Amino acid sequence: MQTDQLSKIAQKMRAANEKDIEKAQRKVQGAVQSGFHSVKKYFPGLITFYIDYKRYPDAIELANRYLRLSGLNHRVKDTRGLKKLFNCRPGIFKLPMFCGSVDDWEKAVMRLKEIRRKNIQKVVACFLSIVFGIFLFSAYTHSQYSSFDVKKNDTANLYGNIGVLEGSLPFWGKSILLEEYYGLYFKQLVTGPQYLDMYDYNLFKKSISDNEKLVEKIQSWKLSDETRDRFLNTIAKVNFGLQGRILKQEKDYQQASMFFMKALNENDVVEDIFGNDFINSQIALLNAEINMPLEEIKKFMKSELKEGNFNTYMAYGDLFKMLAPPNATAPEFIEYYGEAESNYRKAVSIEPGNVWVHIRLGHLLRDKFTLTGNESFYKMAEIEYLSAKELSAKQGLLPLGALISLGHLHKDRYYRTGDKQELQEGIGNYESALELDPNNIVAFYNLGGIYLREKEADAAISYFERILAINDKFVDSNFRAGDAYYLKFKETYNSTYLEKAKFFFRQQLEQDKQYGVTDFLERGGIQGYGQVIEQYTLMIKVLKNDQKNAPLISRARHILIEAYLRRNEQKDIKAAFEEFQRIKDTLSAKDAESILSRIQARNLVAQLDN
């Protein structure tokens, strides 16, 4: 066949091909997904044409259109993507017969759909795994949190549980729980508050020392910086407060006030154990002790204490209870005790689990029992003390305050009723306190007082001398030791015991000389005046024959005058005047005039009453 003929045939075939290509392009260009099946036959030839003539961008665009019409999101970006789409080997990519058939296109689409299906399965499986993991972690967290949250009440094993919590796997809320645990443990370790109702000078000093050691422990605890600072600031506040109580007991009111102010200013955000209201209440009570007028005290408290606050109610309760005993026989006695009880009960309603408010309320009810003999007050006081004892055990605190208070209550009932069983109950509670704290001065003092009253001089002497070895200025322990030795002297007439009695009586009067005339007001509780009159009358009797004791005897007579005038019974006016006549030459003109005017005023009132 001639070349021209072949050329013409080739041109016709090319023209026919071009028409087919144009037709295919038009069909494909207008295709939509619903009519895809009627045009997909054009794709193999068309893409083969593009590849043959190296029109790769057109081939890529066509492949992407095909994939889109097939409902797939897969997209081709370059020739490498084309090869991967049709699974063609690089060497034969240009040969359409291996890659360009309809079957190849269908296989490519099916392969992509299968990949999509598997990917979706993987995503779903991954999602379900995450959800299941979250569920397991949530269940674990809930279980762990609930378990450790309950264990917070296990105060006896608090430190052991802290170790278990620290060693547990992480869970939501672990760090918060750990800080709560350490907060509870810290309250167990910081000492001082549990002794506040015992007025124990020695324990206050020991508490300060223990708290300073606690600072070192806190540095090793796993705490946030904020919580650690709060604990350290609380210790500083507690120790300042304790030092204030020590100085207050020593009658150094100026220094006591200074330490209370230090506690107040240490950190205004510290409310644990020693809140600002507590410190303010101590300042208010200190003002009451130095005889600031009641209205001024109330004004101070109203301006400084937060209304409706626990410590505010405690402070008002303490204030009115303090004011009541000197006025026990006056009409306002009922008002003061009513105010005190009302405030304590408001405090209980705010913090029913607070040990100290139950003890304070018990003290008030015990005083009412002592004054009236009403058994219902005795029973109510016992309930409050037993509640305090139970709460102490639950909170991991030493129940010293509750045990000492129960001892007081049973002892008071024995003194009123003579019931020996009550006496044994009282002794048992004091001895239980000593098992917990072998150097507890308050327990020693009351046991010594019981044995002195029971005329068991040796036992009384042993307790009072143990007190004086710890704190030689504790209340009237010098007098009590002297009284016990004087009892021993009357039993044996051994002059050694008499000299011992004189020694301790002189020590007591020297102590009174240092701390002020009104020191005796704290000694006998509600019935203190009669007790003080007995004590100082005995000391004068024992010491008066020795001329070197004259200044001390004069001091004792001065205190006797105060006791007579404050008790203010008919016979007391004459007794006060007789004592005044004995020491008037030793008094300053101002003191003499003051005492005489008071005696005359009392005498005038007595005459008008008659």
Please tell me the distance from the alpha carbon of residue 362 to that of residue 359, in angstroms, as a whole number: 5
| Nearest Cα residue to 314 out of 376, 272, 271, 359 | 359
Token digits of residue 218: 């806190």
Chain segment 202-237, per-residue pLDDT in tens: 667 778 888 899 998 898 888 888 889 888 888 888
- Please say if the pLDDT value at position 128 is more than 70: yes
Q: Over pLDDT 70: what percentage of the chain?
A: 76
Other CB atoms within a 10 A radius of the CB of residue 223 amount to 19
CB 566 within 8 A of CB 326: yes
Of the ranges 31-45, 178-192, 244-258, the best mean pLDDT one: 178-192
For the cut 90, the answer to whether the pLDDT of residue 378 exceeds it is: yes
Q: Poorest-confidence range of 243-257, 386-400, 472-486, 530-544?
A: 243-257
* Band (328; pLDDT cuts 50, 70, 90): low
One-letter identity of residue 396: G
Residue 542 and residue 544: Cα distance in Å, rounded?
Answer: 6
CA dihedral 401, 406, 407, 411 (to 10 degrees): 140
Distance set, CA 234 to CA 272, 356, 499, 528 (Å): 7, 18, 49, 37
- The span from the CA of 310 to the CA of 351, in Å, is 7
**What is the pLDDT, as a whole number, of residue 288?**
59
Helix axes 276-289, 225-249, angle to 10 degrees: 10
Residues 6+ apart with CB under 8 A from 463: 444, 445, 447, 448, 451
299 Cβ neighbours under 8 A, 6+ residues apart = none
CA distance 189 to 258: 26
Which stretch of 71-75, 186-190, 253-257, 262-266 has the lowest confidence by average pLDDT? 262-266
91-101: pLDDT as tens digits: 444 444 344 45
pTM above 0.85, yes or no: no
Pairwise CA distance, residues 203 & 346, whole Å = 29
For 101, the token pair is 């058939």
242 contacts 262 by C-beta, under 8 angstroms: no
> Domains of the chain: which residue ranges?
13-100
Long-range pairs for 561-567: beta carbons < 8 A, 24 or more residues apart: 561/595, 562/517, 562/518, 562/520, 563/520, 563/529, 563/532, 563/533, 563/536, 564/533, 565/595, 565/598, 565/599, 565/602, 566/326, 566/529, 567/529, 567/530, 567/533
Measured CA to CA, the distance from residue 387 to residue 380 in angstroms comes to 11
| DSSP string covering 160-207 | HHHHHHHHSPP-TTHHHHHHHHHHHHHHHHS-SGGGTTTT-HHHHHHH
**How far is residue 104's CA from residue 86's CA, in Å, rounded to a whole number?**
7
Question: Which position has the token pair 């045009």?
Answer: 39
Per mean pLDDT, which of 23-32, 386-395, 496-505 is the most reliable?
A: 496-505
610 class by beta-carbon count within 10 Å (0-12 exposed, 13-18 middle, 19+ buried): exposed
Cα angle 229, 235, 239 (rounded to 5 degrees) comes to 150
Q: What is the pLDDT of residues 410-455, one digit of tens each?
A: 999 999 999 999 999 999 999 999 998 888 888 999 999 999 999 9
* Helix axes 294-304 and 310-323, enclosed angle (nearest 10): 170
Q: Which of 483, 442, 439 is nearest to 461 (CA)?
A: 483
